[in-house]
């Protein structure tokens, strides 16, 4: 996949950005964005955030150095700054914590994970552009649908996904009667 610059749909006051496949050297900036978005420094997380980020960096670095078949991590860059990231892979859907291994089904689906945009670059079309590029990639893998999970309370992400044609497949509760509900969304891709 080659790098490309997006500018045709961007507003004049928004920075142009480039989307390209991530390389191992991007692991630190990807981990920083994932930590910023999914583990903000609130409460106890503020004290363990450096360890979370270091763990994410190691995990991402490993995936980028020896990527599995049908896996891709993309980054969006504004100048040389990483503005956002997303991962996609052909895999089984994540299982519920209470489900014994092997009972969740073995169908391999195109599954999007870790879509995150730095606070600095939000609401500038970065997430939308990353998702559209993932959809192109998934089509090249001869897949006709793409799936992802989103937390039910994440209204901004839901508006983005529904606006791009994603539909609710099912609602899941991570812990019975506790915690937030997450939604499994899917989108049928046109040929």
* pLDDT at res. 179: 74
Asked whether 115 and 146 are in contact (CB, 8 A), the reply is: no
Residues found in the chain: 191
pTM, whole model, 2 decimals?
0.84
- Give the SS3 label for residue 174: strand
* pLDDT at res. 184: 94
* pLDDT at res. 43: 87
* pLDDT at res. 92: 80
Query: Which helix (H) or strand (E) element contains residue 87?
Result: strand 81-91
Give me the tens of pLDDT residue by residue for the chain, a chain 191 residues long. Answer: 444 444 434 444 556 899 999 999 999 999 999 999 999 888 888 899 999 999 999 999 999 998 888 999 999 999 989 999 999 999 887 665 555 555 555 578 999 999 999 999 999 999 999 999 999 999 999 999 999 999 999 999 999 999 999 999 999 876 666 778 899 999 999 87
For residues 13 and 25, give the distance between their C-alpha atoms in angstroms, rounded to a whole number: 30
For residues 77 and 96, give the distance between their C-alpha atoms in angstroms, rounded to a whole number: 34
Asked whether 172 and 181 are in contact (CB, 8 A), the reply is: yes
Asked whether 14 and 44 are in contact (CB, 8 A), the reply is: no
For residues 116 and 27, give the distance between their C-alpha atoms in angstroms, rounded to a whole number: 14
Q: Which CATH architecture has domain 4-188?
A: 3-Layer(aba) Sandwich (3.40)
């Amino acid at each position: 996949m080659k790098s490309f610059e997006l500018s045709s749909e961007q507003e004049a006051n928004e920075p142009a950005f480039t989307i390209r496949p991530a390389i191992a050297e991007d692991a630190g900036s990807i981990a920083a964005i994932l930590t910023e978005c999914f583990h903000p420094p609130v409460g106890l997380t503020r004290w363990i955030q450096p360890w979370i980020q270091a763990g994410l960096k190691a995990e991402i670095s490993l995936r980028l150095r020896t990527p599995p078949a049908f896996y891709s991590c993309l980054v969006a860059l504004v100048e040389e700054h990483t503005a956002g990231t997303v991962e996609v892979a052909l895999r089984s859907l994540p299982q519920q914590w209470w489900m014994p291994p092997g009972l969740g089904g073995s169908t391999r689906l195109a599954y999007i994970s870790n879509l995150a945009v730095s606070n600095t670059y939000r609401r500038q079309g970065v997430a939308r552009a990353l998702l559209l590029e993932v959809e192109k990639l998934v089509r090249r893998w001869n897949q006709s649908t793409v799936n992802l999970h989103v937390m039910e309370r994440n209204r901004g992400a839901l508006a983005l996904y529904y606006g791009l044609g994603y539909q609710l497949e099912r609602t899941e509760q991570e812990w019975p009667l506790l915690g937030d509900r997450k939604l499994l969304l899917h989108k049928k891709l046109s040929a």
